[in-house]
Amino acid sequence: MSTPTYAAEKQVAIAAVRRACVLTASVFNKLVKQETMTKEDASPVTVGDYAAQAVVNTILGRTFPKDPVVGEEDAADLRQESGKTLRERIVQLASETLAAPLAEGEKEEWGLGPNQAQTSEQLLDAIDRGNYEGGRTGRFWTLDPIDGTKGFLRGEQYAVCLALVVDSRPELGVIGCPNLPVSAADPAGPRGCIFVAVRGQGAYQLALDSPFSAPATRLTIPPSTSETLNFLESVEKAHAKLSFNERVGQVLGITRAPTRMDSQAKYCALARGDGGAYLRMPTGVGYKEKIWDHAAGLILVEEAGGVITDGRGEPLDFGLGRTLGENFGVVAAGKDVHERVIAAIKQAKAEEDVAAQANGSIFKLPPELVRMIFEHFADEQHQFWLVWISTICKALMPEVEAALYRTVAVSSCKNATRLCRALVKRPYRALAVRSLVVYITGGASIKQPLKSALPLLTSLKRLELTVDDPSIFPLLLDAPFRLRTLLTGGYYYPDCVEDILASQPSLQRFSLMFTPRREEPLDLEHARTILRPDILPNLRSLTGWVARFPLTLIKHPYPIVHLALVGATRRDITHAISLFGNTLVTLILIRLIDEQSPPECYWPTYMFRHAHLPKLEYFMVADRYDEHADLPLERETMVIPGLREICPALKTIVWGADGTVIDDLQWDFDGMTSRGWAMTVYARMLFDAIPALERVSIYDDEVAASREVMGEVFTRAEDRTVKGPESASISLDEDMWTLRPET
Ligand SMILES: Nc1ncnc2c1ncn2[C@@H]1O[C@H](COP(=O)(O)O)[C@@H](O)[C@H]1OP(=O)(O)O
Ligand SMILES: [Mg+2]
């Protein structure tokens, strides 16, 4: 079946709306402006409403007699004896309007022109044609004869709106705006426009007085940015929650003031680019939006390239009868901004939920204070206490949850799925999440749950994502959060890492810890973007497993303050120091020493040759040997010349030396047999060379061998003498040791 063009319907609807506009304009001029109606009279709105409905329905009744109409008014009151005066006025007005000479594009058989007089009864019947209840299937018209009555009375914006709905979908819409300036750029210029849209045929603006002959202007919603975007909203506070719009605007970073106007003229303004988004959020009184207030506007916006949904992003349902049923407000916007507006609404709504719950709390403390107190007790030790409070006093649940959800960590598929469900169920929980750790290796993919939860985490600042399913990482590309810390890892290096970096300009700390796999050669192309100096302007801390993080490809001297490299070769280290040396404060290395390395390499500070590390304060190195190297070490090679100038600020050196090598050293070094003697010599030489040095620790155990590693510590006393060695131990939990590569 071919798509219907609705050519006849379109022509009739335009003609009907134009006649109704002429009628309402004359009601305004005669009854409102000249104030000829007394207070006791029925309002001019009532007169205009009924009369305009009589005109449109008469035309529809003649042209499409089988089509029912869903309209606002019925004639029951007018048929009463008490309605006599009103009835006569309406009949007179409608008759006059229908009897006006035929205009271009109109036909006599539509009931128009001086030869087509209608009886009073015929006109009341026409009004009653608007009694249809609507429904899911079939076609019907829906009419709002004067939409925006308040605007009408003020002489400002109002609209005559007519739409054809087929199987629950508006297919044709016509909106007449007698008071709308023809061009928004010339607000004092000529007024009066008709807007028309047919599904699949585009949206157009026509001249109100010659809709069929004057050239039509095709309408498209232009793209907008936060700077150019503004809201269109009701004038009436009772019709939409304007304070809520304000908050949504703040979330979106909108700087322009909203444009307020009555009626569906807002949809017309949106369609022709006079505003970026129309927001109509419920005021909370349980009002259900009427289909005649949005059907014509919907098709106009969609045909102008926009998107229209309710405030939750759900489609508007025109198949439920006279109202939009459970739809929650209306949001119409350009394609490029609609999704962002919905996300901002979700955030503002979540905040509102938290605030609303707080009002009912028994503690009348300011919610921020309650939240601070609760956050203080949200650590693992005290969590039970918070949960206990919230079970006793349900009103405190949102604050308790906000505290508990601030930092969340999951390490099993089951818990990850549960967490995501909980976040989706109550968006204020999602809003509370600042730090999220997902550490799941093996098992089922948690992509689906994450896909629904990640878009809600607008406050997330720190994300640790270690997962084996690489298809999870692209989810970060569409995420609404601006991370400061991103730690990634897993079994497969995902291709999109660089795109993620490019989409996170606020990143300060980044870690890439993907498992190095021998069978798969590293694709160096992956790292290309990291080279671009512009993508990570705030990057200060970098951690990487070098096998999957080709450090030597980085050529840009990011001002890195903390650098940690796992599996770094001599070449990697020299490169890193030459790039970041000027800014480094902390340097942590798990280094690979291979057979080709010259023996003097063994001394950690040997790596500083030719370097300048003016700010370096903390230096830790743990060694890994490819093969057991032969180390004919000599006293002369222990400390390189000029070390004092190279790292004048260095306070701490921690060296996790390989145990077997240390054992070898006791035999090889200087012929002395005391274990640790070589270490003592080295430590003392370091203290001599670097005046700022306060502490040298040398741990002589395999890092991975036990949870506690043993070693010797040398410290500089107040009187600058060196104390030590004193035995010491270090726990594997300390950050630097957790960087060890797995064995
Ligand atoms: N509480 C309400 N929430 C939303 N819309 C409302 C509410 N009360 C009335 N309206 C409708 O708002 C429309 C005008 O909106 P706007 O402010 O955008 O001009 C009218 O059609 C009016 O319906 P009604 O004609 O039944 O009064
Ligand atoms: Mg209305």
Phi, psi of 297 (to 5 degrees): -60, -40
* 232 alpha carbon – ligand 1 mean position (Å): 15
CB < 8 Å & 24+ apart, contacts of 452-456: 452/420, 452/424, 453/419, 453/420, 453/423, 453/424, 454/479, 455/343, 455/479, 455/480, 456/346, 456/423, 456/424, 456/427, 456/430, 456/431
| Active site annotation includes 49 | yes
Number of the ligand 1 atom closest to the C-alpha atom of 292: 21
* 693 alpha carbon – ligand 1 mean position (Å): 75
Query: Does ipTM exceed 0.90?
Result: yes
Do 250 and 281 contact (CB within 8 A), yes or no? Answer: no
* 50 alpha carbon – ligand 1 mean position (Å): 18
Q: Reduce the DSSP state of residue 480 to 3 states and report it.
A: coil
Pair (604, 694) in one structural domain:
yes
And the tokens for 357? 């719950």
Across the range 368-376, mean pLDDT stands at 76
* Cα separation, 440 vs 490, whole angstroms: 8
Q: How many CB atoms are closer than 10 A to CB 124?
A: 22
Nearest CA to ligand 1 atom 15: 263
Identify the pLDDT of residue 359.
57
And the tokens for 215? 């050239």
Identify the pLDDT of residue 280.
97
And the tokens for 212? 């069929």
Do 531 and 555 contact (CB within 8 A), yes or no? Answer: yes
Identify the pLDDT of residue 273.
95
And the tokens for 601? 């390499």
Instruction: Name the residue type at position 565.
Output: L
236 is in an annotated binding site: no
146 is in an annotated binding site: yes
Pair (92, 185) in one structural domain:
yes
pLDDT score of 39 more than 90: no
Count of the separate structural domains present in the chain: 3
Ligand nearest to the CA of 144: 2
Residue percentage of the chain with pLDDT more than 90:
54
Number of the ligand 1 atom closest to the C-alpha atom of 147: 21
Q: How confident is the model at residue 629 (pLDDT cuts 50, 70, 90)?
A: low
Number of the ligand 1 atom closest to the C-alpha atom of 282: 3
Pair (52, 106) in one structural domain:
yes
139-147, strands of its sheet edge to edge:
69-71, 139-147, 159-166, 169-181, 191-198, 202-207, 217-219
- How does DSSP classify residue 600? G
Lowest mean pLDDT: which of 214-228, 508-522, 588-602, 613-627? Answer: 508-522
And the tokens for 599? 């023996």
698 is in an annotated binding site: no
* Residues 112, 117, 120, 121, CA torsion sign: negative
Query: Cα–Cα distances in Å, from 206 out to 60, 159, 171, 217, 321?
Result: 21, 14, 18, 7, 31
- The best mutation among 142, 236, 245 to test binding of ligand 1, ranked by most ligand atoms within 8 Å of the C-beta, falls on 236
Q: Is residue 493 part of a domain?
A: no
Query: Cα–Cα distances in Å, from 247 out to 45, 163, 210, 527?
Result: 34, 33, 42, 40
Ligand nearest to the CA of 234: 1
Lowest mean pLDDT: which of 26-40, 62-76, 104-118? Answer: 26-40
Domain boundary among 482, 513, 528: 482
- How does DSSP classify residue 607? G
Lowest mean pLDDT: which of 79-88, 261-270, 654-663? Answer: 654-663
Name the nearest CA neighbour of 738 among 709, 712, 714: 709
Pair (373, 421) in one structural domain:
yes
* Cα separation, 455 vs 23, whole angstroms: 50
Report which listed range, 127-141, 378-392, 436-450, 646-660, is most confident.
127-141
Q: How confident is the model at residue 46 (pLDDT cuts 50, 70, 90)?
A: confident
Q: Is residue 328 part of a domain?
A: yes
Q: Is residue 532 part of a domain?
A: no
- The best mutation among 72, 233, 293, 324 to test binding of ligand 1, ranked by most ligand atoms within 8 Å of the C-beta, falls on 293
Q: Is residue 448 part of a domain?
A: yes
* Cα separation, 94 vs 314, whole angstroms: 39
Q: Is residue 537 part of a domain?
A: no
Nearest CA to ligand 1 atom 11: 239
DSSP H or E stretch at residue 452 = helix 447-453
* Cα separation, 523 vs 627, whole angstroms: 26
Q: How confident is the model at residue 739 (pLDDT cuts 50, 70, 90)?
A: very low
* Cα separation, 406 vs 543, whole angstroms: 24
Pair (23, 145) in one structural domain:
yes
Domain boundary among 482, 512, 538: 482
* 251 alpha carbon – ligand 1 mean position (Å): 26
Alpha helices (H) in 36-119, listed in sequence order: 44-63, 76-79, 84-99
Ligand 1: residues within 6 Å at CB? Answer: 147-148, 234, 236, 238-239, 262-263, 283, 285, 287, 293
Q: Is residue 321 part of a domain?
A: yes
Number of the ligand 1 atom closest to the C-alpha atom of 157: 19
Q: How many CB atoms are closer than 10 A to CB 359?
A: 9
Across the range 176-197, mean pLDDT stands at 96
β-pairing, 708-716 vs 652-656, is unpaired
Pair (370, 455) in one structural domain:
yes
pLDDT per position as a tens digit, 275-301: 889 999 998 777 899 999 999 999 999
Pair (248, 359) in one structural domain:
no
Do 106 and 15 contact (CB within 8 A), yes or no? Answer: yes
Identify the pLDDT of residue 40.
45
531-551 as b/e, with b when 16 or more CB fall inside 10 Å? eeeebbeebbbbbbbbbbbbb
Q: How confident is the model at residue 41 (pLDDT cuts 50, 70, 90)?
A: low
Pair (34, 162) in one structural domain:
yes
* 239 alpha carbon – ligand 1 mean position (Å): 5
Domain boundary among 303, 336, 369: 336
pLDDT per position as a tens digit, 668-691: 555 555 556 778 888 999 999 999
| Active site annotation includes 149 | yes
* Cα separation, 483 vs 511, whole angstroms: 13
Nearest CA to ligand 1 atom 8: 239
690 is in an annotated binding site: no
Ligand nearest to the CA of 283: 1
Pair (35, 68) in one structural domain:
yes
Of residues 434 and 727, the one with the higher pLDDT is 434
Pair (325, 453) in one structural domain:
no
Q: Is residue 619 part of a domain?
A: yes
Task: Write down the catalytic residue from 97, 149, 283, 586.
Answer: 149
* Cα separation, 348 vs 85, whole angstroms: 50
Do 290 and 355 contact (CB within 8 A), yes or no? Answer: no
Pair (478, 626) in one structural domain:
no
Q: What is the CATH number of the domain that holds 225?
A: 3.30.540.10
What residues are paired with 513 via a beta bridge?
489
Lowest mean pLDDT: which of 114-123, 235-244, 411-420, 705-714? Answer: 705-714
Across the range 396-411, mean pLDDT stands at 84
Pair (42, 168) in one structural domain:
yes
Tell me the residue range of the domain where 397 lies.
Answer: 350-482
pLDDT score of 522 more than 80: no
* Cα separation, 70 vs 145, whole angstroms: 11
Q: Is residue 341 part of a domain?
A: no
| Residue whose tokens read 């060890």 | 740
Task: Write down the catalytic residue from 49, 262, 274, 658.
Answer: 49
pTM over 0.90: no
pLDDT score of 37 more than 60: no
* 277 alpha carbon – ligand 2 mean position (Å): 19
Q: How confident is the model at residue 734 (pLDDT cuts 50, 70, 90)?
A: very low
Do 484 and 458 contact (CB within 8 A), yes or no? Answer: no
